[in-house]
Chains A and B, each alone.
Chain A
Amino acid sequence: DIVLTQSPATLSLSPGESATLSCRASQSVSSSLAWYQQRPGQPPRLLIYDASNRAAGIPARFSGSGSGTDFSLTISSLEPEDSAIYYCQQRKSWPPWTFGQGTTVELK
């Protein structure tokens, strides 16, 4: 199974700052990686697929990059509603479809 490791566990930033979240795969997943946002009490929401493509309705301040084993999600100019847990997920080798353990973004 492909293991996805996210870092850091928690980011604490102020509104207007930028956040960079990392996801590292145990083996290459090419560009077959997605990012999800989960706000408290809500189901996850797809943000990014194929490493860098924004899903429908996702603001341009969310961007993804990377390929192979190293990926990043960048949130520029953080807004209060960006407080959430962010998960990466791979679809290169399945089953199982696997998720990272999540990164919590807290706004001060």
Chain B
Amino acid sequence: QVQMVESGGSVVQPGGSQRLSCAASGFPFSRVTMHWVRQAPGKGLDWVAAISRDGDRKFYARSVEGRFTISRDNSDYSLFLQMNGLRPDDTAIYYCVKEILGTGYLDFWGQGALVTVSS
């Protein structure tokens, strides 16, 4: 069955860096666009970044552009989010999310990784 497992969540100091990973399985990973969506404690859903199936096109929310980098390794069924210059308002659960092929709808979500930015 479809599964996404995020890892790398931790407590990070303001200005620090963190890399999230997502191990995917159960579907043709190289054929689908993948996303990161975050949720601050007690808040709503906030789209962060997306990467095309071949990794050539990357899209970012304005709030993270220039600080975060999304990437993928199709040979290893893995998705990554490199986060630099972290700020307290980046504190959130970060979900790895699969898009239904070519649709922009998000049909499978991982359980999420908690990133806390605090001194």
Quick one: CB contact mask for A72-99 with B, threshold 8 Å, 1 for yes? 0000000000000101010100111111
Residues of chain A lying within 8 A (CB to CB) of residue B104: 32, 91, 94, 97
Please judge, given known A-B contacts A34-B105, A49-B100, whether A94 and B59 are in contact too, CB under 8 Å.
Answer: yes
Q: Are B44 and A91 in contact (CB under 8 A)?
A: no
How many A-B contacts at CB < 8 Å in the complex? 58
Quick one: CB contact mask for B55-73 with A, threshold 8 Å, 1 for yes? 0000111100000000000
Interface of A is mostly: loop
Q: Are A46 and B106 in contact (CB under 8 A)?
A: yes
Could you tell me how many residues of chain B have their Cβ less than 8 Å away from some Cβ of chain A?
A: 21
Quick one: CB contact mask for B37-48 with A, threshold 8 Å, 1 for yes? 000000011110
Q: Are A45 and B109 in contact (CB under 8 A)?
A: yes
Q: Are B110 and A43 in contact (CB under 8 A)?
A: yes
Chain A proximity of B94: nearest CB distance (Å):
11
Please judge, given known A-B contacts A49-B100, A55-B107, whether A95 and B44 are in contact too, CB under 8 Å.
Answer: no
Q: Which residues of chain A from 2 to 44 have a CB within 8 Å of any chain B CB?
A: 32, 34, 36, 38, 43-44
Instruction: State the B residues within 8 Å of A (CB).
Output: 35, 44-47, 50, 59-62, 95, 100, 103-107, 109-112
The 10 A-B residue pairs with the shortest CB-CB distance in the complex, in nearest-first order = A91-B104, A43-B109, A95-B59, A99-B45, A49-B105, A97-B47, A46-B107, A102-B44, A34-B105, A101-B44
